[in-house]
Amino acid sequence: MALPVVAIVGRPNVGKSTIFNEMAGDRISIVEDTPGVTRDRIYTRAEWLTHEFRLIDTGGIDMGDEPFMNQIVQQAEIAIDEADVIVFMVSAKEGLTESDERVAKILYRTDKPVILAVNKVDNPEKRAEIYDFYALGFGDPYPISGTHRTGVGDLLDRIVAEFPDVQTEEEDDAIRFSLIGRPNVGKSSIVNALLGEERVIVSDIAGTTRDAIDTKFTTPDGDEFVMVDTAGIRKRGKVYENTEKYSVMRAMRAIDDSNVVLMVLNAEEGIRDQDKHVAGYAHEAGRAIVIVVNKWDTLEKDTYTMNEFEQHIRNEFQYLSYAPIIFVSAKTKQRLNKLPELIKQVDENHKRRIQSATLNEVIMDALATNPTPTVNGKRLRVYYATQVAIQPPTFVVFVNDPELMHFSYERFLENQIRKAFDFTGTPVHLIKRARK
């Protein structure tokens, strides 16, 4: 499940984000259309030939007020910490600069493969200028042009050639989950409380990169869990650790690696844009989701507090209406013992398979209660449905004309499916298709 990670580093303006977008392809994302979400992406999934990987644009991780040189040095350190392969980008237009040399010095410290890409080689004459960059000591430079989209294929060939051999991960029944949330919401306190329980058996698993360490544990009931990226949750004291962009990037990686995402909120502080951004990514990635409201001990409560808080969450995260909400305290341990069971339940729902016959009984009942609409004199006809995937459960609905099935009818069908089967905690995908 853990895909190789490629990071792009280099001083500002060499074309990192241009090349990042080129490599990412045009992945239209609902997350980015959500208001309050930052548009500039710094993390994405990408693929080249048969290889899937993750791509980080370290240039997008800004360190606030830090001086310019400190920022590029830290970005290079992030690349060394996070990546399996590093793309060091320079520019033929401006030529070799002092900042390039500064970045190079940091990159000398790593044993990881570093590939030198010279961007802005927009025409054959410019090719002569790439030779200056041999002085950086990273071997043959790869000439590319973000503007003309040239050379990127060769660069990608080289990148995928450097990927570590695919680890044959032992497939087991352990449930992979991650804890996601802003700094200080209490993630590491929850981790410590869960792992510190008596009769919980814990073992660390090394990941592909040095820092990506998962933790496996077994509950007294014998259920096995893998907590993804525990190392990222426990603070390592790096300067950049608490910057927002970095923690969002780290969260996205953990989401990609898990089946169940625990979205941790702080009862004291409520919901912020960063929470929405990350929750939107988990939803879009089709992960099972549990909303965990921590620090429940800090609120003065009456009979309405929990309902009001729940209502607030439902308003803020309308697309997560399927996610259960649990109110906990890592400090007093209130309800924390319910968490493993809840993770297990939503994981089961996430992998639930429905027999076609049973599914179609539900669809036929739905059609009887709420007949299909007519659009411009043409009536929508729904013939049958079948489940084509799990994690998340995905159904293909065969109709006469997909254009006739509007969002409201689609949502009605999804609700009927949810009424008939337990899909708590998981998104459900409906794909409409014309019957041939």
Helices vs strands, H then E, count in the chain: 13, 18
Residue numbers 77-96 binding ligand GDP by CB under 6 A: 93
**With binding defined as CB under 6 A, does residue 185 bind ligand GDP?**
yes
According to the annotation, is 58 in a ligand binding site? yes
When binding is defined by CB under 6 A, the residue of 4, 5, 16, 366 that contacts ligand GDP is 16
Q: Which two tokens stand for residue 31?
A: 């997350």
**With binding defined as CB under 6 A, does residue 38 bind ligand GDP?**
no
Say which residues have a Cβ less than 8 Å from residue 210's Cβ, sequence separation at least 6.
Answer: 81
The minimum distance between CB 193 and ligand GDP, in angstroms, equals 8
Q: What is the DSSP letter of 174?
A: P
- Residue 265 in contact with residue 181, Cβ under 8 Å? yes
According to the annotation, is 61 in a ligand binding site? yes
According to the annotation, is 231 in a ligand binding site? yes
Residue numbers 219-238 binding ligand GDP by CB under 6 A: 233
Compute the distance between CA of residue 426 and CA of residue 393 in angstroms, rounded to an integer: 8
Compute the distance between CA of residue 385 and CA of residue 395 in angstroms, rounded to an integer: 7
Residue numbers 115-174 binding ligand GDP by CB under 6 A: 119-120, 122, 145-147
According to the annotation, is 143 in a ligand binding site? no
**With binding defined as CB under 6 A, does residue 183 bind ligand GDP?**
yes
- Residue 147 in contact with residue 120, Cβ under 8 Å? yes
Say which residues have a Cβ less than 8 Å from residue 219's Cβ, sequence separation at least 6.
Answer: 197, 199, 200, 225, 340
Say which residues have a Cβ less than 8 Å from residue 404's Cβ, sequence separation at least 6.
Answer: 372, 373, 375, 378, 379, 380
**With binding defined as CB under 6 A, does residue 209 bind ligand GDP?**
no
**With binding defined as CB under 6 A, does residue 241 bind ligand GDP?**
no
The minimum distance between CB 406 and ligand GDP, in angstroms, equals 40
Residue closer to ligand GDP by CB (options 54, 187) is 187
When binding is defined by CB under 6 A, the residue of 6, 17, 31, 428 that contacts ligand GDP is 17
Compute the distance between CA of residue 225 and CA of residue 212 in angstroms, rounded to an integer: 16
According to the annotation, is 121 in a ligand binding site? yes
Beta bridge partners of 162: none
When binding is defined by CB under 6 A, the residue of 70, 97, 167, 184 that contacts ligand GDP is 184
**The dihedral sign for the CA sequence 329, 333, 335, 337:** positive
Any idea what the Cα angle at residue 405 is, between residues 321 and 351, rounded to 5°? 45
When binding is defined by CB under 6 A, the residue of 54, 112, 187, 350 that contacts ligand GDP is 187
According to the annotation, is 153 in a ligand binding site? no
Pairing type for strands 288-294 and 260-266 reads parallel
According to the annotation, is 187 in a ligand binding site? yes
The minimum distance between CB 161 and ligand GDP, in angstroms, equals 23
Residue closer to ligand GDP by CB (options 181, 340) is 181
The minimum distance between CB 38 and ligand GDP, in angstroms, equals 15
According to the annotation, is 100 in a ligand binding site? no
Known binding site for GTP: residues?
10-17, 57-61, 119-122, 181-188, 229-233, 294-297
Sites of contact with ligand GDP (CB under 6 A): 10, 12-18, 59, 93, 119-120, 122, 145-147, 181, 183-189, 233, 294-295, 297-298, 329-331
